């Protein structure tokens, strides 16, 4: 990449990391997408000052011809748009070349979920007094009770869990913290783990709520493995992932009568349109309510 592009990209990444407080995962994704655009510009013999709408469109065509999915193309355009808006704001570029560009049209996929019976079987799968099963039971209950992302679950500190009041404090995307209630089942599972397992495993200076037998914090990969193991034990044959529990949490709340704004707050969605996809999933419940209560149902 050219020096001008490299310098501008470094400043933008620093802006995302420090001023906007985005997570390392998100910042790395921006850096990857913009790095690909910079490499393409070098191949085209174009400088940063020469980037216009035609060049950005040409890059998107190249991505499409290379077999990149529509979702990945949209993410690349979003990264480039954010980059040039930053440069315009900093008066380092005359205009935003992406202003009139539209990304590829995406088909919104309905999230696949576990039904209530499957969730119950999954939560009951880690049975017995073994310490790892006590911890795993607490983690599964916490994730489903609060609709946490896996990163939020494994990053919970002891101070983030208030069993007396019945809530967890989750640090979500953009370093935004939210308070989410947890029910009696999750509180009981967490209390048992904190009383019988964590004191034996955690290192003296550890603040992590959920730890391994080695005293280290649970990892994303570690939780993914245990989730798959318990899904098999529960006889769940559909594909499983930590995010599927979060989808199930949201859908079951809406099906049970929760309002959309409350679910948005509990999920930590900045935009309610992100939450609205779950209203389609819970359409069967709405149909049942209509048939039961509408005078002409």
Tell the burial category of 3 from Cβ atoms under 10 Å away from its Cβ (0-12, 13-18, 19+).
Answer: exposed
Region of residue 181 (left: phi > 0; alpha: psi -120 to 50; beta: else): beta
Share of residues in the chain with pLDDT > 90 (%): 59
User: Residue written as tokens 């996809």?
Assistant: 277
> Is 243 assigned a catalytic role?
yes
What average pLDDT does the segment 27-42 reach? 93
Contact criterion met (CB below 8 Å) for 168 and 160: yes
Residue 184: pLDDT over 90: yes
> Is 290 assigned a catalytic role?
no
Residue 65: pLDDT over 70: yes
Q: Which domains does the chain have, with CATH numbers?
A: 3-89 (1.10.150.130), 116-291 (1.10.443.10)
- Catalytic pick among 141, 149, 198, 244: 149
Give the model's pLDDT for residue 152: 96
> Cα separation of 205 and 202, whole Å?
8
Give the model's pLDDT for residue 289: 56
Q: How confident is the model at residue 295 (pLDDT cuts 50, 70, 90)?
A: low
Share of residues in the chain with pLDDT > 70 (%): 90
Phi then psi for 181, rounded to 5 degrees?
-70, 155
Residue 285: pLDDT over 80: no
Q: What is the pTM of this model?
A: 0.63
> Is 246 assigned a catalytic role?
yes
Contact criterion met (CB below 8 Å) for 211 and 223: no
> Is 269 assigned a catalytic role?
yes
Give the model's pLDDT for residue 105: 63
Residue 110: pLDDT over 60: no
Strand partners of residue 168 = 161, 180
CA-closest candidate to residue 246, choices 108, 146, 110, 137:
146
Q: Indicate the range of 2-16, 207-221, 227-241 predicted with least confidence.
A: 2-16
> Is 141 assigned a catalytic role?
no
Residue 292: pLDDT over 70: no
Strand partners of residue 167 = 162, 181
| DSSP-derived 3-state class of residue 181 | strand
- Catalytic pick among 176, 243, 287, 290: 243
Give the model's pLDDT for residue 293: 62
Residue 228: pLDDT over 70: yes
Give the model's pLDDT for residue 22: 86
> Is 149 assigned a catalytic role?
yes
> Cα separation of 295 and 90, whole Å?
60
* Number of neighbours of residue 110 by Cβ within 10 angstroms: 12
> Cα separation of 121 and 101, whole Å?
48
């Amino acid at each position: 990449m050219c020096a001008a592009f490299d310098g501008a990209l470094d400043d933008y990444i620093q802006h995302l990391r420090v001023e906007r407080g985005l997570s390392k995962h998100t910042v790395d994704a921006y850096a990857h997408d913009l790095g690909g655009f910079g490499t393409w510009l070098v191949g085209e013999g174009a400088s940063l000052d020469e980037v216009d709408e035609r060049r950005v469109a040409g890059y998107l065509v190249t991505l499409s011809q290379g077999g990149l999915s529509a979702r990945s193309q949209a993410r690349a355009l979003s990264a480039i748009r954010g980059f040039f808006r930053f440069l315009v704001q900093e008066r380092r570029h005359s205009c935003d070349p992406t202003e009139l560009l539209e990304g590829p049209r995406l088909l919104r996929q309905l999230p696949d979920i576990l039904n209530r019976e499957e969730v119950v079987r999954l939560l009951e799968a880690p049975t017995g007094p073994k310490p790892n099963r006590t911890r795993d039971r607490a983690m599964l209950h916490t994730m489903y009770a609060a609709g946490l992302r896996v990163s939020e679950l494994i990053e919970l500190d002891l101070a983030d869990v208030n069993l007396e009041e019945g809530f967890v404090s989750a640090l979500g995307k953009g370093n935004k913290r939210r308070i989410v209630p947890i029910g009696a089942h999750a509180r009981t599972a967490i209390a048992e783990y904190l009383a019988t397992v964590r004191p034996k495993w955690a290192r003296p200076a550890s603040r992590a709520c959920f730890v391994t037998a080695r005293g280290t914090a649970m990892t994303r990969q570690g939780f993914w493995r245990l989730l798959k193991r318990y899904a098999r034990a529960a006889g769940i044959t559909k594909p499983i992932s930590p995010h599927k529990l979060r989808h199930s949490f949201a859908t079951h709340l809406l099906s049970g009568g929760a309002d959309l704004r409350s679910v948005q707050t509990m999920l930590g969605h900045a935009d309610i349109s992100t939450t609205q996809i779950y209203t389609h999933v819970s359409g069967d419940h709405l149909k049942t309510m209509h048939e039961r209560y509408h005078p002409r149902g």
